């Protein structure tokens, strides 16, 4: 038979396309030739695959089924299969029959695409959930008011106040979403300038004080390094990030608790810290809380008087991390459940201090703020 011709044609195809996720099989679905990437996927050298059945080589029933259908029905068949270690990657598969003599199988990795689709689906589901809660309260309150069931002015005022509060939460959610999408799309335009970290801290403290007072939490400012230190940052965004951290620290503190906000020079960056002695975060969640919409447990948050939790969307930390990264910095947390949390963001120095210059043994590595 003319298998040699087939093989030659296959090799020519491989060399032309560079699409080495290709397989050639005979009419009994035994591998005749495999491209390098296909062999890697099967975790065997390409030569070792030759003669193996498709199902033995890849252990994938869907892949086998696509191939079988193409063979028996003599037509091009497309499908999908999970391949690789533990089926961790998704592939689009096309099986092209070769006139009863076998098949060419082409595999195309669609894992990234599938991941994106999942992220988008989760996002829409989360968002609908976050919107529904306050909308339901507003509807209920408004219906009660218009039904005339409430006639004393004090209760009516109270209802209107609640409606306003829910609307504020919705507005905050929309603002956070807009912020997040601007930052994520890379459209964020940072107004970078050398900033005094003391001023960044002071402006965030000024904004958190009223909230802290209402929740009976003290705010303490910790002194930073001596001398003149400048970070290269966007004043508005940095103080927004610190404010988000401070907001959480207050929200998850116990009454009478204390939140400490400070900064220090660490290497070529300034590390801003927000520490609390609140409920802390179980270790299993610490990696995930920076994801958008991720919340440890709604019921654990303290709700100060007149506050509802529908305003807690789980977006604050996602914004913090994005702001830090947009500054070529980082954000993180150390926390012990039941003891407290210290959140931090590191932002590069505008000009290296004497200390960091001595430590790194060279001049400015950041090259900015001249």
What tokens does 89 get? 């990657």
Helix axes 316-326, 235-251, angle to 10 degrees: 150
Build a one-symbol-per-residue string for 194-233: x at contacts with ligand ATP by CB under 6 A, - elsewhere.
----------------------------------------
Binding status of residue 314 toward ligand ATP by CB under 6 A: yes
Pick between residue 3 and residue 283 the one whose CB is nearest to ligand ATP. Answer: 283
Length of the chain: 370
Q: Find out whether 26 and 3 touch, Cβ atoms under 8 Å.
A: yes
Pick between residue 42 and residue 243 the one whose CB is nearest to Mg ion. Answer: 243
Calculate the alpha carbon distances from 244 to 263, 269, 272, 345 in Å: 16, 20, 13, 12
Which residues, 6+ apart, have CB-to-CB distance to 14 below 8 Å?
Answer: 20, 22, 33, 35
Binding status of residue 295 toward ligand ATP by CB under 6 A: yes
Which of these segments, 24-32, 49-57, 113-121, 312-320, binds ligand ATP (CB under 6 A)?
A: 312-320
Tell me the pairing of strands 258-266 and 218-221. parallel
Binding status of residue 344 toward ligand ATP by CB under 6 A: no
What tokens does 127 get? 């968002």
Binding status of residue 316 toward ligand ATP by CB under 6 A: yes
Q: Find out whether 282 and 337 touch, Cβ atoms under 8 Å.
A: yes
Tell me which of 312, 323, 331, 352 binds ligand ATP, using CB under 6 A: 312
Binding status of residue 249 toward ligand ATP by CB under 6 A: yes
Which one of ligand ATP, Mg ion, none is in contact with 269 (Cβ closer than 5 to 8 A by kind)? none
Binding status of residue 273 toward ligand ATP by CB under 6 A: no
Distance in angstroms (rounded) separating the CA atoms of residues 19 and 2: 24
Report, in Å, the least distance between residue 333 CB and ligand ATP. 8
Interface with Mg ion (CB under 5 A): 248, 316
Residue nearest to ligand ATP (CB): 316
Distance in angstroms (rounded) separating the CA atoms of residues 87 and 218: 52
Binding status of residue 130 toward ligand ATP by CB under 6 A: no
Q: Find out whether 303 and 280 touch, Cβ atoms under 8 Å.
A: no
Pick between residue 316 and residue 348 the one whose CB is nearest to Mg ion. Answer: 316
Radius of gyration of the chain (CA): 30
Binding site for ligand ATP (CB under 6 A): 176, 248-249, 252, 276, 278-281, 289, 294-296, 311-318, 341
């Amino acid at each position: 038979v003319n298998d040699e011709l087939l093989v030659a044609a296959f090799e020519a195809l491989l060399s032309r396309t560079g699409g080495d996720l290709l397989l050639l099989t005979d009419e009994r679905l035994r591998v005749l030739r495999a491209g390098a990437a296909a062999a890697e996927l099967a975790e065997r050298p390409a030569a070792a695959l030759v003669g193996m059945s498709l199902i033995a080589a890849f252990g994938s029933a869907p892949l086998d089924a696509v191939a079988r259908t193409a063979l028996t029905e003599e037509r091009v068949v497309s499908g999908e299969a999970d391949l690789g270690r533990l089926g961790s990657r998704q592939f689009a598969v096309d099986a092209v029959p070769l006139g009863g003599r076998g098949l060419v199988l082409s595999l195309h990795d669609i894992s990234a695409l599938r991941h994106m689709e999942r992220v988008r689906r989760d996002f829409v589901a989360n968002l609908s959930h976050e919107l529904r809660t306050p909308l339901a309260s507003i509807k209920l309150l408004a219906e009660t008011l218009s039904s005339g069931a409430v006639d004393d002015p004090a209760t009516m005022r109270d209802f209107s106040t609640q409606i306003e509060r829910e609307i504020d939460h919705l507005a905050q959610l929309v603002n956070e979403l807009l912020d997040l999408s601007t930052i994520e799309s890379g459209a964020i335009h940072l107004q970078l300038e050398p900033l005094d970290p003391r001023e960044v801290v002071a402006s965030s403290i000024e904004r958190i004080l009223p909230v802290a007072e209402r929740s009976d939490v003290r705010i303490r400012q910790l002194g930073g390094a001596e001398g003149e230190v400048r970070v290269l940052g966007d004043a508005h965004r940095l103080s927004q990030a610190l404010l988000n951290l401070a907001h959480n620290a207050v929200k998850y503190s116990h009454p009478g608790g204390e939140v400490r906000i400070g900064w220090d020079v660490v290497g070529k960056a300034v590390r801003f810290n927000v520490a609390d002695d609140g409920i802390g975060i179980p270790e299993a969640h610490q990696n995930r809380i920076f994801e958008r919409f991720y919340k440890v447990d709604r019921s654990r948050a303290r709700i100060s008087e007149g506050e509802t939790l529908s305003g807690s969307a789980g977006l604050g930390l996602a914004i913090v991390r994005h702001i830090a990264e947009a500054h070529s910095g980082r954000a993180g947390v150390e926390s012990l459940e039941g003891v407290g949390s210290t959140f931090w963001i590191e932002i590069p120095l505008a000009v290296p201090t004497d200390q960091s210059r001595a430590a790194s043994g060279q001049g400015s590595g950041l090259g900015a703020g001249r």
